[in-house]
Amino acid sequence: MILSADALLDIIKTHQQWAVVLVFALAFAESLAFVSLLIPATVILWGVGALIGVADLEFWRLWFATALGAILGDWVSYWFGLHYHEKIEKLWPINRYPHLIERAHGSFKRYGVVAVFGGRFIGPLRAFMPLVAGATMMPIMTFQLANTSSGLLWAGVTLAPGAFGADFISNWLN
């Protein structure tokens, strides 16, 4: 059974003790090659950001869980690229979207580590950039620098508008 975005947001609002685990899992899934095509986690995380402001959820714990999930998801994708670089383009669902791999590979060759950092903020490339970085044998420390810094920033950019915007609007209306 697959939960809708609204159902998942209701679960987070009702069972706030699970919010950290759920946002970690959502960010991990959003950053994991293959899985990211199946789960609209960014949209759900935007909703979680709005819940932070209206349901008194703790921003910093959710930010950290989101960042950690994104960083680990990218690391796993990098690992897959590093170990299975010759077989990646033949795997489902990538073989159904060859233009995404070509686009990611072109960006990576042109911009290098900046592409890994920036790819985090471009939906379709988010999970493929780490895969391509691994497949092209980018040094792990270089990758992790881009991965960690972009994951921390992406978590804030994803959650903060809803968290602080909802609070701002609520205060402004009262």
| pLDDT tens digits, one per residue of 7-61 | 666 777 777 778 889 899 999 998 887 676 667 777 778 878 877 777 777 889 9
Could you tell me the pTM of the whole model? 0.81
- C-alpha span between 128 and 33 (Å, rounded): 6
| pLDDT band, very low/low/confident/very high, at 68 (cuts 50, 70, 90) | very high
pLDDT band at 1 (very low <50, low <70, confident <90, very high): very low
For residue 125, which amino acid is it? L
159: CB partners within 8 A, 6+ apart: 45, 48, 49, 52, 59, 62, 63, 66
SS3 state of residue 153: helix
Nearest to 94 by CA among 84, 83, 108: 84
Mean pLDDT of all residues in 136-145: 90
Distance (Å, whole) CA 44 – CA 123: 14
Residue 125 has pLDDT above 80, yes or no: no
Assigned token pair, 50: 């709005």
Least confidently predicted of 11-15, 72-76, 81-85: 11-15
Mean pLDDT of the chain: 80
